[in-house]
Amino acid sequence: MHPPEADVVLVRHGELGVKSEQVRRKMEDRLAENMRAMFDARGLAGDIERRRNRLFVHTDDPDAVADAAADTFGVVSASPARTVEPTLDAIEAALVTATEAHYDGGTFAVDADRAGPSDAHPFASTDIESEGGAAVRAAIESLGHEPTVDLDDPDFRLFIECRSETAYVFLEKRAGPGGLPLGTQRPVVALVSGGIDSPVAAWKLMARGCPVIPVYVDLGAYGGPDHRARARATVETLAEYAPGEAMPMHVVDAGDVVADLEAEMDDLRMLALRRYMLATAEAVAESEGAVGVVTGEAIGQKSSQTSANIAVTDVVASLPVHRPLLAMDKAGITDLARDIGTFEDATVDTGCNRIAPGLPETNADLDTLRAAEPADLFERARASAAAREVVPIER
């Protein structure tokens, strides 16, 4: 929803504002670059103007541009707005026009913020709210409604951001992912399984500025007929958040390894498989210049994800293993998967239940695990990584 004659989108970021001047400028440049890539991917046009702690996109399609901006990592919120002169008369007129176009009953509020030097205007933000509120009240009465103010949770809220030379009137703040602009941190490898958790974990690292290199470990006969297709579909969805990144999926063939683990090991084979996967991911990371591995594990969600078992799997990796979902429950992870669009494609059995023993170990001892797993497991992991298939992702 936007006011009539909206011509600009206000884009807000959060953490960038607390960085040093040099770092903030670099991150704002990257944010603007990422937004341009998002606009280009969606066939949108807009001129990006950068000011301190704000980006302004001048456009003829404010609704679509605001949606695109709100899908860009680093953006806290975006608002389609109308530009007006920074005078009370101009602001009140825009508020009345917006009210007449969009008010359909209920309570209202006017929320104003005046930025810039204290002597830039002969009025304060409270004057904008009181004078603007009176104008909105009169407009609501002319529409045949009884106006009621609710400053806490109104049905209809109008915003004003008044700066030294320009004022902006808008009706909503569309929430973005926040975080940091993608590409402001070094890349990480993301183990993607085709399940619900791993794409969410990858998305959360992307929201912290890290490009991800998706690695899919193909379980062969244990993976299910559409397992790889589902994994690829979730990667395609993630790639929509990173139009400036190639983001191909690296496919590792682990069918023979899984078959051997199932035949040779009992209650420890899931842990051996997890160690193999981490070793494979690290080998890919080293070849791709990545600085860590991200997984979708959460403490206690599965037998291989108990705090004790995570400890014995992590020792195979020298790079950091990031687990952004570690303390989340399944309901919260699933809600986030729905929000980011990966849930539907991820609702498929990942195949691990076909490998898991009837009574898996939940409190593994490292020495016992090392003695039980194949001696050449990690040599095979490095060989699997070297022989991986790199699959381009279509957008």
φ and ψ at residue 331, rounded to 5 degrees: -65, -45
pLDDT value, residue 394: 82
Report pLDDT for 357.
61
Q: How far is CA 124 from CA 144, 168, 328, in A?
A: 31, 15, 44
Domain segments of the chain as ranges: 8-175, 188-391
Q: What is the C-alpha separation between 236 and 233, in angstroms, rounded? A: 5
- Please tell me whether residue 227 adopts helix, strand or coil conformation: helix
CA distances from 51 to 28, 56, 83, 102, 196 (A): 9, 8, 16, 30, 39
Please tell me the predicted confidence (pLDDT) of residue 347.
66
At 349 the pLDDT is 53
Pick the CATH number of 8-175 from 3.40.50.150, 3.90.1410.10, 3.90.180.10, 3.30.2130.30: 3.30.2130.30
Query: Do 8-175 and 188-391 fold alike per CATH?
Result: no
Residue closest to 39 by CA, chosen among 54, 25, 60, 24? 60
Q: Which two tokens stand for residue 121?
A: 């205007």
CB environment 106-125: b (16+ within 10 A), e (fewer): eebbbbbebeeeeeebebeb
* pLDDT, tens digit, 9 for 90 and up, residues 103-119: 999 999 999 998 877 77
Q: Which amino acid is at 336?
A: L
Q: What is the mean pLDDT of each run of 10 residues along the chain (395 residues)?
A: 93 88 90 96 94 90 97 97 96 97 95 83 90 96 93 96 94 96 97 92 98 95 81 94 94 94 90 96 98 96 89 95 96 95 72 64 89 96 97 87
CATH of domain 188-391: 3.40.50.620
Which letter does DSSP use for residue 248 in this model? Answer: P
CB 51 within 8 A of CB 91: no
Q: What is the dihedral of CA 169, 174, 179, 181, to 10 degrees?
A: -70
